[in-house]
Amino acid sequence: MADHALSDAEILRQIPPARAAEHSARKRGHRARTVRFDRAHARIVVELSSGVVFAFPVRSIPALRRATPGELAKVALSASGGGLRWAALDIDLSVAGLLLAAVDPAERVRHLAAEAGRATSEAKAAAARVNGAKGGRPRKSAARAAPTTRRKIAV
């Protein structure tokens, strides 16, 4: 692995865009604002900066299953709001990871694939122009279409 040290000037140059990206993520609601342990229902409740509230049962996280209610109550937010931390238990959980874990894996893949398909780049645009110059996407021919067979049923 190459050792690449950043200069002080490069670090200082990266700070304003990083702060702007963090501010934007917080405005869109992608950061946790509060977190608490709900003893009555044995779950962790998280409120996002968008006002969305979600909760997950402690038993759904193997690392938290043996923790006492007192230990679970000592949950804290990371400075960015992107993670939950139990210092005494040495456990860190990603808020985004928790949200993704709550969604069916097949649905998660479909959503991520749809997002990837919306991505644009100069390379993708250039490929579309080349394909368009060739006449676009080839039409399905009758020969390539899946054959349909009908069976006669004797009556």
Write the burial class of residue 118 (CB in 10 Å: 0-12 exposed, 13-18 middle, 19+ buried).
exposed
pLDDT score of 154: 61
Averaged pLDDT of the chain: 85
Instruction: Evaluate if residue 46 carries a pLDDT over 70.
Output: yes
Q: What is the pLDDT of residues 93-126, one digit of tens each?
A: 999 899 988 888 898 888 888 888 888 888 888 8
Q: Which of 86, 87, 117, 84 is nearest to 99 (CA)?
A: 84
What percentage of the chain exceeds 70 in pLDDT? 86
The structure's pTM equals 0.61
Domains (range + CATH), the chain = 15-101 (3.30.2020.40)
Q: Are 77 and 93 in contact (CB under 8 A)?
A: no
Q: What is the pLDDT of residues 49-80, one digit of tens each?
A: 889 999 999 999 999 999 999 999 999 999 88
pLDDT score of 23: 73
